[in-house]
Structure 1
Amino acid sequence: MSRRIIQVEEKVPFLQGVPLSFQHLFAMFGASVLVPTLFKIDPAIVLLMNGVGTLIYLFLCKGKAPAFLGSSFAFLSPVFVVLGADKAFWGANYPLALGGFIAAGLVFICVALIIWRFGPGWISIVLPPATMGPIVALIGLELASVATGMAGIMPDPKTGAVDANAVIVSMVTLLTVAFGSVLFRGFMAVIPVLIGILAGYLTAMGLGMVSFAAVAAAPLLATPTFYAPVFDLNAVLVILPAALVVISEHIGHLVVTGNIVERDLTRDPGLHRSLMGDGVSTVLSGFMGSVPTTTYGENIGVMAITRVYSVWVIGGAAVLSIALAFVGTLSAFIQSIPAPVMGGVCILLFGVIAASGIRMLVEAKVDYSKPVNLTLTAITFIVGISGAAIQIGNVQLKGMALATVVGMGLSIVFRLLEKSGLTSEKTDL
């Protein structure tokens, strides 16, 4: 018998909802706090605004699109330019970046309004299944090295050595989640990720990889640090191109989420509402001193594995994120989880996202005897995984984002050629 699906609008009992929400919190935590750590700002403000932004997103999407908004990595390069080479001035320059974040959020909102006005029908034209399938797969594939790096299974580039303890921890975590998702029954079947994290954490403790010094030193309660934005045209122009990357990523994430929950989320609640939620969240985050947000692949992977799609669970994770911003000891405890634990989880989570792209091609019955479909998929894949990049100001467009732009452009051109009757229908394969 197949495991029961907990649908998007379905509520879950409180005692089950808490561990389910913690499962999503653990999945997003490492990446979300890494961004503010790199910028040398208080991670608590990011946890607070990620939680607030997620609740805003769920509200604007009428509770129909399960997604968690976490810290966006697309803005790292331009922000480092704005912060400057001398880290001593990062604290003074960070407000300039906040002005750029607000401007980027306003771009999301403007694009959302355009989509609302003209409708989402263009998506099937600029992103047909032959293009969208590989784009979705690339979301997971381009994160593969991140997962294996965190897991510690990649040899050191200088010495060629591998940390045996890290490999043990990551493999215990990965195998617990993998086999748990297949073998667990009852309520355990919907929390294999959480169980895997606990198994990996206990293994790491046994190998002496966990330190509780930061937990002991952390205050029980703490107030997040707020930062005020400063608007500077040069800083805005440096940061603004990153909005294109996030919009491309957002469309891909919404499509793959819709594929998982088996609903067309681009139409109901609509891509315009989804982008609006992300835009409002990013603008508000900029005013409060936090970083831009984006829908998180880690949480999409959790939903795919557990088959729990409830927005109430996602909302619970958002509330936990808000609470965590004020509880110093709990935040320090979660930060004590070794990277190999989350790396082991992410190997499966990111792989599930990649598989969702292949599933999209299969379910759409893409006919690869047609040269148009074959060419779209082939070029999109190669552009995405080849390392090819285009520089736009201080933002580098590469990977899935570049593949999205190239795939959309080719799809439009091929559509026009098809309408003109200039394309062949079959190829000798």
Structure 2
Amino acid sequence: MSKENKEKKIIEIGEKPPIGKWIPLSIQHTFAMFSASVLVPILFGIPASIVLLMNGVGTLLFIFITKGRAPAYLGSSFAFLSPGFIVIGSMGYQYCLGGFIVAGAIFAVVAIIIKFAGVNWIDAVLPPAAMGPIVALIGLELAGSAASNGGIISSEGAAIDPKFVFVFIFTLALAVIGQVVFRGFASAIAILIAIVTGYVLAVIMGLVDFSPVTDASVFELPAFMAPKFSLSAVIIIIPASLTVISEHISHQIVTSEIVGRDLLRDPGLHRSLLSDGISTMLSGLCGSVPTTTYGENIGVMAVTKVYSVWVIGGAAVFSILLSFFGQVSALISTIPGPVMGGISFLLYGMIAASGIRLLVDKRVDYSRPRNLAMTAVVFVVGLSGAAIKIGEVELTGMCLATIVGIVMGLVMFIIDKCGWANDTEENA
């Protein structure tokens, strides 16, 4: 295929697809975020309807504040689960909401600092040799959850159901082959086609339980809840802010690589982080959970080459509508793990591949010891299971690797400024 034809397949950030394409493309993003986004409220023991509502509202706010120049879906953050459980056990969920509001305010404060400090410091403290593996870790550390949700990993010695494995492989294979074989618009919605086809296969094989649909109301209002504030609850929750801020920066960098634009500078990291903060504060005020940019939806963009904020906005609108229609959201929730697990395998893998792509695009020179050392250490820290506790919050995986990468980047920066480096061009 010629370069011109390849470029025609891309739907750019500001491009508005015709409604016949807009609806299925938006639904595709809705499916991608749904499972993970509703899992957080389920674990917290609150209704999913308020979370779907606030995720949709938060995403629309994100698009508005970033002037429609940064495609991102704001879904439920998993970073606050551990401290949230601690607060719920001792005080109740309403005190978590107070902590979430303060965490969102911290995002906003950091955004204001970045507005005046700029983003050049990111290149200094997180050079490509460190940022590439950090981006890759976003996908790699999620791979285990995709396999677990898909039912292809044995838990506590239980036998693996061959039906789960078959549906998982079928869905994954169809999504992959669809990207290669499907033509025209079908290739852009290959993920949606794979989900629907995999779901039908799961129904035929008796893997779908429709009881949640019959038990749900046709129409229901989201359950709002007022926050309560406690200093001890806030202290427990706010360290998780570091995880989300690190995740946000990494997501914006990988999205920049995917869409071919520097989103850190235009519309600006300060705008995107401020949007996330305002969304999290509003969620806390209404009884929902903190939000974060979603890797699942970044993966969809990487696979489909559809970057339109109109499509992301459409997914947000569908999320809001789902919050009022109980049976519809219940029907989506019946999509079994093997189907979404197979899709997630591809999406998370695409994020990991984007990290490798960053290393290639930036032409990282691994003949230089510093680059080899930074990439090696960041990968090992992120994949080793190493952890550091700050109060009740445990830093591990990508978050800990980001901190280590920043420290190493600063050390290398100081070494360069002092003229001690032996791998500069002058000393080569």
Residue identity opposite 2:116 in structure 1: R
Greater mean deviation of Cα atoms: 192-201 or 208-217: 208-217
Provide the residue aligned with 1:31 in structure 2: 36
Query: What does 1:73-152 align with in structure 2 at a 5 Å threshold?
Result: 73-84=78-89, 93-152=92-151
The equivalent of 1:66 in structure 2 is 71
In structure 2, the partner of 1:332 is 330
SS at match of 2:120: coil
Residue aligned with 1:122, SS? helix
2:213 partner amino acid? V
The separation in 2 between residues aligned to 1:156 and 1:236, in whole angstroms, is: 35
Alignment partner of 1:84: what SS?
Answer: helix
DSSP 3-state at the match of 2:155: coil
Partner SS for 1:321: helix
CA distance in 1, matches of 2:192, 2:175: 8
Instruction: Please give the TM-score of this superposition, normalised by the length of structure 1.
Output: 0.96
Residue number in structure 2 paired with 1:364: 362
Which of 238, 250, 253 aligns to 1:252? It is 250
Please show how residues 234-313 of structure 1 align to structure 2 within 5 Å: 234-313=232-311
> What is the Cα deviation at residue 213 of structure 1?
2.1
- 1:318 corresponding residue in structure 2: 316
Instruction: Give the SS at the match of 1:391.
Output: strand
User: 1:170: how far off?
Assistant: 0.9
Question: Paired residue for 1:213?
Answer: 211
Structure 1 runs (4+) deviating above 2 angstroms are none
CA deviations 1:6-64 (Å, max 9, x no partner) are 00000000111000000000000000000000111010000000000000001111101
Q: Distance in 2 between matches of 1:426 and 1:11?
A: 47
Code of the residue aligned with 1:343 in structure 2: it is G
Tell me by how many angstroms 1:211 deviates: 2.0
Q: Which residue identity is paired with 2:28?
A: Q
Root-mean-square deviation (CA, aligned residues, Å) is: 1.1
Aligned counterpart, 1:89: none
Aligned residues: 420
Contact 1:371–1:424 (8 Å) recurs in 2: no
SS of the aligned residue for 1:397 comes to: strand
> Where does the alignment leave 5 or more consecutive residues of structure 2 unmatched?
none
Q: Which amino acid aligns with 2:131?
A: M
Residue 218 of structure 1 and its aligned partner are, at CA, apart by 1.7
Asked whether the equivalents of residues 66 and 314 of structure 1 are also in contact (C-alpha less than 8 Å), the reply is yes
User: Structure 2 residue aligned with 1:13, among 14, 18, 33?
Assistant: 18
Q: What is the SS of the residue equivalent to 2:352?
A: helix
- How far apart are residue 67 of structure 1 and its match? 0.2
> What is residue 416 of structure 2 aligned with on the other side?
418
Asked if 2 retains the 8 angstrom alpha-carbon contact of 1:8 and 1:310, the reply is yes
Shift of 1:162: 1.3
8 Å Cα contact 1:222/1:328 also seen in 2? yes
1:328-356: per-residue Cα shift (whole Å, max 9, x none)? 11011001111111000000000000000
Check whether the contact 1:172–1:199 (CA below 8 A) recurs between aligned residues.
no
Superimposed CA distance per residue, residues 59-87 of structure 1 (whole angstroms, 9 cap, x where no aligned partner): 111101000000000000000000117xx
- TM-superposed deviation, 1:217: 2.5
* Inter-partner Cα distance in structure 2 for 1:30 and 1:348: 15
Q: What is the percentage of aligned positions where both structures have the same residue?
A: 58
**1:32-47 superposed matches below 5 A:** 32-47=37-52
Secondary structure in 2 matching 1:396? strand
What is the CA-CA distance between 1:202 and the residue it aligns to?
A: 0.7
Cα distance in 2 for partners of 1:157, 1:426 equals 52
Give 1:172 deviation, angstroms: 1.0
* 1:171 counterpart = 2:176: no
* CA-CA distance at 1:199 after TM superposition: 1.2
Shift of 1:426: 7.4
